[in-house]
Amino acid sequence: MRSPPGPRRPVPARLVAAAVLLSALAAGAAAGAAVAGDGYGRGRRLYMRNKVLEMFYHAYDNYITYAFPHDELKPLTKSFTDSLSNLTEFERGVLWLSENLTFDVDARINLFECNIRLLGGLISGHILAKEHSSHLKDGPYQDQLLHLAENLGSRFLPAFETPTGLPYAWINLKYGVMENETTETSTSGCGSLILEMGALSRLTGDSRYEAAALRALRKLWSMRSSLNLVGTTLDVLTGKWIEYSSGIGAGVDSFYEYLIKAYVLFGSEEYWDMFHSAYLAVQKYHEADMRTGEATHWQLTSLQAFWPGLQTLLGDVAAANISHREFYNVWQRFGVLPERYLLNFGMLHPTEKYYPLRPEFAESTFYLYQATKDPWYLEVGEAIIGSLNYYTKVDGGFASVRDVSTMKLEDHQHSFFLSETCKYLFLLYDDSFLRNQNYIFTTEGHPLPIRSTWHEIIPTTHVPSNWTFSVGSPWESACHVPDVLPTHRCRTDDDCGVEAVSCRRRTCSMAGYCGLWLGVY
C-alpha cells in the first residue's frame, strides 16, 4: 500500500470510518476466532471469518491504491468520488489525520452525515487508541483525534442557534449557517446526534455539545402526535412538520436507534421513556400518517432492516426473529436486499431496485446471533457473504447493484461497506473484540464503550416478558397468543399464534417458521 502523501487538506469521512474498523479487525485477529458451543464448528467459523477479512482487504486495498484520500472508490473504473492490515495501519491512519486534517475550510456539509461519520469516527478512534495504548512513531498517543473531534464539534454548534433549538441540516464549516440556507431537515437529522455529541461532552468536560443535541431531541419529541408518532421532515425555524409520514425507514430510522442506545450509553430514564412510547406506537401503526394512524405504505426497504437489531437490543427477541425472517425471505428471492419492495403488489419498486451494499441486514443478523447463539444466523451470514462475493465483487473492489432483477452493477463502493457491512459480518464470526468490554455501535458502526462513569443512573437489568417490557414491570399484550413451540418452528398455521401489537395471526412459512410473512415469496 502506498503511504498517504500530500498537502494539508480536508480528510474524507471515508478514512476515519476505515481507521476505526481496522482497529476492531486488528483486535479480533489478535485474539483468534471465538469458539461457541452452538454446533457450527470452529473450522467453519474461522473459514467464514477469513472470508470476510479477504473481502475487507480487497475493498480497502483498492481504495488506498485508486481513491485515497478522496471520499469513495469507483470500483469498476478504479477511480474515486468526491462528495489500516493490523494495528500499525491504524496508527498510520492516526498519524496521517493528526498531520493533515483541518476543518477550517469553506465547505458546506450535512450536519447529520458529518456527525455520524466524521465526529463519531474521531471519537471512537480516540477511545480505541487510548484503550489499546497505541504508540505512534513520534511517541505515545496524545489525544490527537479527540482534539480534532472537539474542533469539529465546536463548528457544529452554530447550526443549533434556532428559535426551536432544532439544528439546520446544512452548515459551512468555516462560516457557520449561510444566508438563505434551507430550513428543512429530517427527523433523523435532528434526532440522531446525541450519541456522538454526548460522548464528546463526557470526554472533554464541555457540556455544550450534549446540551445542544438533547435540547433538539426534546423539542423533536414534543412535536409528536397524540398517537406518539413522528413525521419525516420538519422546519427548524417554525418547528412545524412538513412531511407527516411515520415509519422506521429513511429519514426516521436512526431516531429510534439513538433513543434506546442513548439510554444504554448514558443511563437517563428520559431516553427510555421517549423510546418506549415511540416503540409501542410504531409497532402498532407501522408506516402511517402520524396524525391519524392511517396506513401509508406496505413495503420493506433495505434501511428498515436495522429494526430486528434494535428489537434484539431492546430484548424483544421473538419479534426481532419475525422481522428478520421477513427481510431474509426477500433477500433469498433476489440474492440481495432491494432498496424498496412493495408488499401489497409483491414486486420491486419501479425506480428503487438498487442494492448499494447496505449493512443493516448484516447488522441485525449479528445482533440476533449474539442474543440467541442460534447457528442459523451464522448460515444467514454465509448467504450474505456468498451473495456479496458472487454478485458484487470486481477487480477494483465491491460494486453496488443498480438493478437487483438483472444484477447489473454501478460504479460505486460506499464507505459504509467497509465501516459497517464488513465489520458486522466479521463480528458475526469473531466477537473476541467484544469479550472484555461492552460497546454500543453508532448508526455508522463506530463502537462506543459502555462506562458506568458516563451514566446518570445505571439501568437495571430487565428480563423481558412476552414481546417487550417496561421499567420495573412486564408489558403484556391482551391479544397475544404465543406460538406452540418456543423456537417458533411450525408445520402448519395451527402451530402459530397471534402477534402481540397488531393482533394479526401469524402463519407458517415455507421454511417452517411462524411469522407475519405478508405473502413475500
pLDDT tens track for 116-175: 999 999 999 999 888 876 556 667 788 999 999 999 999 999 999 999 999 999 999 999
| From 113, 184, 352, 411, active-site residue | 113
| Alpha-helical runs (H) found in 86-173 | 87-100, 111-114, 120-131, 144-156
Taking the CA atoms of residue 487, residue 491, residue 495 and residue 501 in that order, the dihedral angle to the nearest 10 degrees is 70
Q: What's the half-sphere exposure (Cβ side, CA atoms, 13 Å) at 105?
A: 13
| From 91, 210, 339, 499, active-site residue | 339
What stretch of H or E contains 334?
Answer: helix 317-334
Amino acid occupying residue 288: A
181 is catalytic: no
| From 253, 287, 382, 430, active-site residue | 253
pLDDT at 507: 82
Asked if residue 69 has a cis previous peptide bond (ω within 30° of 0), the answer is yes
Q: Is 443 annotated as a binding residue?
A: yes
| Alpha-helical runs (H) found in 205-268 | 208-222, 253-266
CA 90-93-98 angle, 5° bins: 130
339 is catalytic: yes
pLDDT at 90: 76
- For 181-229, the pLDDT digits (tens) are 999 999 999 999 999 999 999 999 999 999 999 999 999 999 999 999 9
| Alpha-helical runs (H) found in 407-458 | 415-416, 422-429
Backbone angles phi, psi at 249, to 5 degrees: -100, -150
196 is catalytic: no
Question: Which residue shows C-alpha cell 437517563?
Answer: 268
**223: number of Cβ within 10 Å:** 16
- For 457-497, the pLDDT digits (tens) are 544 443 333 333 323 333 334 446 788 888 788 888 888 88
Residue 345 CB contacts under 8 Å (≥ 6 apart), including other chains? none
**432-443: average pLDDT:** 91
Amino acid occupying residue 392: T
Instruction: Give residue 503's pLDDT band: very low, low, confident or very high (50, 70, 90).
Output: low
| From 360, 363, 420, 483, active-site residue | 360
CA 354-356-357 angle, 5° bins: 130
179 is catalytic: no
Q: Mapping DSSP to helix (H, G, I), strand (E, B) and coil, where does residue 506 land?
A: coil
- For 94-126, the pLDDT digits (tens) are 888 888 889 999 999 999 999 999 999 999 999
